[in-house]
Structure formats: C-alpha cells, structure tokens
Amino acid sequence: MLRIPRPRGDDPRPPTAPNGLRPRRGRRAVGLMAALLACASAPAGATTVTVPDDWPTIQQAIDSGAETVLVRPGIYPETLVIARAMEVKGLVPYGTSPNSLPVVSGVVLEDFTHIEFHTLYLKVWSLRILSQVRNQFETSPFWDPLDIEIAGCALDGGLVDSDTAERGQIEYYLRLCRIGGPVRLSRPQQVWFQDCTVRAAIQISGVERFSARRCDFRGPSPFAIDVYGDDSEIYDNTFEGFETPIRQRSSSTIYVSGNTFIGPGVVPVAMPIYGDLSFSNNRVTGFQYGVLVPGAWGDLYATQNLIADCGTAVRADVRYGDFLGNEVRSCEVGVFLNVLDGLQANDNVVRSCGGDGMILQASWGEVNRNVVGHCGGDGIRLTSDGRDGSNPRMIANTVYRNGGAGLVVAVTRAIISGVLDHNIAFENGRHGLESTGPGPLLAGCNDWFGNAAGAISGAEPSASDLAVDPLFCDAARDDVHLSAGSPLLDAPTCGLIGALGRGCDMPTVSRLTTFTVASTIEGVEVRWQVADAAPGFVAWLERAEAADGPWVKAECERASDGEVTVEYDRSTAPARSYWYRLVATDRGVTRALGEPIHVDTAPPQRFALLGTGPNPAPGAFEATFQLAHAADITLELFDAQGRRVATLARGAWPAGIHHASWAATHAASGLYLVRYRHPAGEDLRRIALVR
C-alpha cells in the first residue's frame, strides 16, 4: 500500500540525498546543512533537473526552483505541491501506456507566490496520479491567463478544484489523458479535453468556453458531460453507457458534431428551454429520443445526422429550425418539428418508422427533396398558418409505401397558398395527397401512382400532374432513384420529378421468395412466389435438360395454394433429369428470376428427398420428400460445422409426397445440409442461405 506523505514532500523520514545525508525538512527555516545538500544535489538556479538523479524526491526538485523537473519511471509516494509556473514531466515517450508511467500519490496546486503580467504555464506531463488532482487556489491570476496543461497522464482520481475563489483566467488543457475519476471545475475561463479516455463524469460550471474532441467516454453513468456556461464544442467523440451523455444547463449555444452516441439511453443531448443546439454529422442509435429540444425559444440546426433504432427520432419545439440532409431509420416515431417561425426541412431520408415519417408545423416552411418510405403512418404532414404571409412549399419530395397518405398539407389561412410541385407519391396506404384547411394549393408536375385511396383528396389535381409508374430502381429495398427508362426523368413541360435522379439502367424485377421443384407420381410439381410485383407482372416456367439450356416454355397446369403458385408439369419422362427456372416480365423488363433448380424424375414408389428450394434461399425454404409406404422418418437441417439447427419432420408419416418448411428467422448466411433419413437409407441436399 502506498502511504500518502505530507504536503510538499514533508515526509517524517525523507529519503537520503545522493551524498548519503538526509535533507533537512521544513519550508521556511532552511539551515546550513540543507543549503549544502542543495548545492551538492543540483546546480544553483538549474533550468532542468532529473529525479532521482539530481534530487531524491520530486517535491525537493520542485522546491529547488528548476523550471523543468523530469521524473524517471518508478513509484514516488508523494503528493506534489506546486505553487509556481513550471513543468513536471515523466521521463518517458509522450503517449506511453498509463501502466508504464511514473507514479505519484497526488498533485495539489496552491496559490502562486508571484504573478507576472503575461500568460503563465504550468505543465504536468506523463505521470500517473493515484488520487485527485486538486486546485486549491484562494486567489487567482486575473489580468492574464494561467494555462494548466495536463498531457499524457493517467488521472486515477480525477481533477477537482476547491471552489474557494474566482478562477479569473485559469484555463485547463487535458490531452491524451486517461481519466478514471470525476472532473469538477468551477468558473474556469476555458476547459479543453482532447484525445482522452474518460471513465467518470465531467462537471464544469461557469465556463466561458468548453471543448471536448476525439475522446472516448464510457459509462455507466447518468451523464458524461454536465456543463454550464457559454459556448460548448463537442466534436468527434464516442459516448456509450450513459442515460444522457451531454447535459447543457445554460441558455447558450452548444455545438455537437461528428460524435457517436450508442444507447440505450434517454437522449444524447439534454437542452434547457432557451438553449440553441447545433447538431451535425452525428450517429445516434438506441436512445429514447435521437434529438430533443423542449423549449419554444431556442433554435435547432441539425444536418447530416444518422438516427436509428430510437423511440422518437426527433422532437423539437423551437423558434427556428433547420433539418437538412439527415437520415432516420427504424424508429418508433419519426420526425416531429414544431417551429414558431421559419422551418427548412430539406434533403432528408426517413425510412421504416412506426408512425408518421415527418410531422412539420411552422409559420412558413420549405420542405424539399425529402425521401420518406415504409413508415406506418403518413409520409410527410405539413401544417402552416403563414403568419408572415409566406407560402409553405413542398417541392420534389418522394414518398412511397407508407401506411397512411403520402403527403398531408394543412394551410390554415385562406390568404396564403400551399405550393406543391414535382413530388412523387407511390403506393401509399391512403391518398397520394390529402389537403385540409381553407388555404388553396398551387400544385403541378406531381406524380400520384398506385396509392390505395386514389391520387388526391381535398383539392383538384393539376392538368400537369401524372399517374405513371416512376420505375424506381428497387423500391422494395428502398432504392427510389429512377431507372433509365423512367418517364419522370424528363417529363414533358415538367422535367425531373421526385427527390432523386437517375440511379440505375433498369429497375429491379420482383424478388423470388419461394421456388421449389419436386418429382411426383404424375410428373413434376413447381411451387413459386414473388414479392413486389408491379401491375402487369407476367411469369412462366421454362424447362431444360441441362443447366445451361436450351430452355423451352413448360406447358403446365396452374393452381394456387394461398399466395403460392403451384404448377404441374405432366409432360416429363420417368428417370430423367430436368432443370426449371421462372421467367417474368415486370416493369417492361423480361428476365429469369433466381437460379435454375434441378430435379430427377423417378418411379414414385420410393423414399426420396425430391427437392429443396429456392436455392439459394433469401430466407425461408421448403423441402419436398416422398415416402414409398408409411414409416418413421427424420428430416433435419445442419450447418456447415455439422451442428443440427432444425428438425423439419420426425416420426411416423404416411406414404406419398410431403412438404416441410424452415423459416430461417435468425439463421446466418451460409451453406446448410438437409438430411432425410428413411427405412431405405438417407438422402442429402445442400442449400445456400443468402440474406
């Protein structure tokens, strides 16, 4: 155990000096022997001294008047007392691991005995400090700054001040430090954290400027940074394990940019009623709120953020709001902005939210080039009263496959008009556009296609509006760029319509979700199902006797089993090999869906694993097996390591052909083996799962 010595190194049994004598203790009465020891230990007025080469203790080196004290690695059971501008540095490379630094018990900063009228610097570098670093100033430099720089250190006990005096112009700079204890500072002029690893809370009050850059903050704790003061800048940090990583308690502006916030938690930044939040280029996952600004008198500037898997992505009641270029996905509630005056919500992407995608309320609003899709409620709702006489504008937005309406506009004053043009509303659950309120709409060059309740409710469509398939690249996978053949790339008199331009040569044809082929007593049974088929979709089977063709259309009898199409090919010969594929024409493009599947026709009275598919499978697949007579069988699935992952069928089964499916809900992509054991032996089939 380390014993904490008395302040200023006044240990009851101080270590011996290099000449073998013990230095006299005491700070004010220095006898002749102590003076001789000082002369013997280091040159008078030396600029740089080294411990233990020149002085046996660090405190004696500090008291010698040296400008720089270098400390070799080791354990020094001292609490250092520093009361002047100087440098104390571990004699190790900058950035050395905390476990390899020189170790001291503590550091105490006391009032400086002499203050000059220029900036003073106190530097503590490359030390591991076991207890709290304490600033015990009772008076402080007022006319010129005192810079306290702590770099490359391990602060196991943190950093605190006694809050006994006005801090004047004290500035703290902490760089490349590992901070294990709390930091509590009162009324400093500036505080900077850079490239630090922080494992305890930071509380700063009365600061003129606070900055944290490129630091790693880890909880668990209610908050990582609690700051009260003027402007704060928090850039390029990582926060994990906090209920509220940043708490701003003053009505000034806080700049939060380039950070990663990892939940679970309540909200990344807690704001007061009157505070302004600049929130840009951040990544937020797993919080109850991605952005929350509760007051009506602050401003919000949010740009280029990613907010995912949150309760509510954005909730802000502000005076002015800019929401630009953000991406929101998979939140329970999307974006709610209630803006007292002006709102700009442009170039955002909102996908797969449980409720409405964007709810916007403002005196006037610019809502342009947003992409909102696969949300449970309406795509974009805009309410505007136009108090300043400005017309709300919704231009070039793309809203698709939302559960409610695509666009909902409420202009609550008849003296203004809502402007809507060049928007796309595609396959939404209600109307493409719903208009309420007495204000008229100035609409044109919009495309309303495939919306369940029709194009427009509450307003008359424009003569320049369209109702054509936009031919998105792949709406099922949220790629709503326009394909090369889209009529909206350059619509007559309108030009480009929608938020996004060209993104692919042709749209993706509907996805094949089920495709199985099995030999039966009467021929071959093929079962298939597709997703995201557009109006006009047509599909047929083709058959070949080799994997590479030639392919011919199979003349089949078609039936249905729920949503699965079942086709019977009765023209096959027994004991022959065939290949089948599904070909479709969709959105003007004809192509084969998925990979061909092989099947062997055989006499029906045998035990056999007739088919597995689709192969490769995007998820669920089906196995078809045959029993020659009633028997006990097992149908099992194994992964590539030979581990059984599912039992598809087991026990006594009657004679005939049967089907068993596997949902593959939590299975990883890879190769799997289907094993069918029966009285005649066993059959094996490989299948690939591709997510």
At residue 26, the pLDDT reads: 35
Q: Read off the pLDDT of each residue in 176-202 and give the average, rounded to a whole number.
A: 94
Q: How confident is the model at residue 168 (pLDDT cuts 50, 70, 90)?
A: low
At residue 43, the pLDDT reads: 45
Mean pLDDT over each residue of the chain, to the nearest integer: 86
Q: Read off the pLDDT of each residue in 581-600 and give the average, rounded to a whole number.
A: 86
Q: Read off the pLDDT of each residue in 98-107 and give the average, rounded to a whole number.
A: 96
With 90 as the cut, is the pLDDT of residue 49 above it?
yes
Q: How confident is the model at residue 36 (pLDDT cuts 50, 70, 90)?
A: very low
Q: Read off the pLDDT of each residue in 253-259 and give the average, rounded to a whole number.
A: 95
At residue 433, the pLDDT reads: 95
At residue 322, the pLDDT reads: 95
Query: Percentage helix, strand, coil, to 5, in the chain?
Result: 5, 50, 45
At residue 141, the pLDDT reads: 56
User: Of the candidates 446, 452, 480, which has an alpha carbon nearest to the alpha carbon of residue 371?
Assistant: 480
Helix (H) or strand (E) holding 60: helix 58-63
Q: How confident is the model at residue 144 (pLDDT cuts 50, 70, 90)?
A: low
At residue 504, the pLDDT reads: 86
Higher pLDDT, 619 or 339: 339
At residue 606, the pLDDT reads: 80
Q: How confident is the model at residue 113 (pLDDT cuts 50, 70, 90)?
A: low
The mean-pLDDT minimum among 7-16, 446-455, 575-584 falls in 7-16
Question: How far apart are the C-alpha atoms of 305 and 315, rounded to whole Å?
Answer: 14
At residue 137, the pLDDT reads: 77
Task: Express each pLDDT in 401-411 by its tens digit.
Answer: 999 999 999 88
**What does each C-alpha distance from 554 to 523, 537, 551, 575, 585 come to in angstroms?**
12, 18, 9, 18, 16
At residue 9, the pLDDT reads: 36
At residue 99, the pLDDT reads: 92
Calculate the CA 561 to chain-centre distance. 42
Report DSSP state, residue 166. -
With 80 as the cut, is the pLDDT of residue 278 above it?
yes
Tokens of residue 677, six digits: 């054991």
At residue 30, the pLDDT reads: 34
Phi, psi (rounded to 5 degrees) for 424: -120, 125
Q: Read off the pLDDT of each residue in 587-612 and give the average, rounded to a whole number.
A: 82
With 90 as the cut, is the pLDDT of residue 6 above it?
no
Q: For the chain, state the CA radius of gyration.
A: 37
What lies within 8 Å, CB to CB, of 57 at 6+ separation is: 9, 11, 14, 15, 51, 76, 78
Q: Read off the pLDDT of each residue in 81-89 and give the average, rounded to a whole number.
A: 93
At residue 143, the pLDDT reads: 58
**What does each C-alpha distance from 573 to 332, 466, 582, 600 come to in angstroms?**
55, 52, 21, 10
Phi/psi-derived region of residue 176, left when phi > 0, alpha when psi is between -120 and 50, beta in every other case: left
Question: How far apart are the C-alpha atoms of 261 and 285, rounded to whole Å?
Answer: 6
With 90 as the cut, is the pLDDT of residue 532 above it?
no
At residue 602, the pLDDT reads: 66
With 70 as the cut, is the pLDDT of residue 163 above it?
no
Above pLDDT 70, what percent of the chain? Answer: 88
At residue 119, the pLDDT reads: 67
Phi, psi (rounded to 5 degrees) for 37: -65, -40
Q: Read off the pLDDT of each residue in 264-288 and give the average, rounded to a whole number.
A: 94
At residue 116, the pLDDT reads: 55
At residue 520, the pLDDT reads: 85
With 70 as the cut, is the pLDDT of residue 461 above it?
yes
At residue 573, the pLDDT reads: 74
Q: How confident is the model at residue 590 (pLDDT cuts 50, 70, 90)?
A: confident
Calculate the CA 216 to chain-centre distance. 16
**What does each C-alpha distance from 359 to 321, 345, 356, 434 come to in angstroms?**
13, 11, 7, 14
With 70 as the cut, is the pLDDT of residue 33 above it?
no
Q: How confident is the model at residue 414 (pLDDT cuts 50, 70, 90)?
A: low
Q: Read off the pLDDT of each residue in 294-306 and give the average, rounded to a whole number.
A: 88
At residue 474, the pLDDT reads: 85
Above pLDDT 90, what percent of the chain? Answer: 62
Q: Are 49 and 64 in contact (CB under 8 A)?
A: yes
- Cβ count near 228 (within 10 Å): 18
With 70 as the cut, is the pLDDT of residue 416 above it?
no
Question: How far apart are the C-alpha atoms of 463 and 628, rounded to whole Å?
Answer: 67
Instruction: Give the 3-state DSSP-derived string for 314-337, with helices as H, strands as E and coil as C.
Output: EEEEECEEEEECCEEECCCEEEEE
For 338-406, the DSSP string reads EESSEEEEES-EEES-SS-SEEEEESEEEEES-EEES-SS-SEEEEE--TTSPPPEEES-EEES-SS-S
Tokens of residue 38, six digits: 């000082």
Question: How far apart are the C-alpha atoms of 255 and 231, rounded to whole Å?
Answer: 8
Question: How far apart are the C-alpha atoms of 562 and 239, rounded to whole Å?
Answer: 49
Question: How far apart are the C-alpha atoms of 503 and 596, rounded to whole Å?
Answer: 29
Phi, psi (rounded to 5 degrees) for 133: -80, 120
At residue 29, the pLDDT reads: 33
409 forms bridges with which residues in the sheet? 382, 435
With 80 as the cut, is the pLDDT of residue 166 above it?
no
Burial of 501 (0-12, 13-18, 19+ CB in 10 A): exposed
Looking up tokens 């570098």, which residue turns up? 125
Q: How confident is the model at residue 64 (pLDDT cuts 50, 70, 90)?
A: very high
Q: Are 202 and 172 in contact (CB under 8 A)?
A: no
The mean-pLDDT minimum among 73-77, 92-96, 113-117, 336-340 falls in 113-117
At residue 1, the pLDDT reads: 32
Q: Read off the pLDDT of each residue in 447-456 and give the average, rounded to a whole number.
A: 95
Residues in the chain: 691
Question: How far apart are the C-alpha atoms of 644 and 532, rounded to whole Å?
Answer: 33
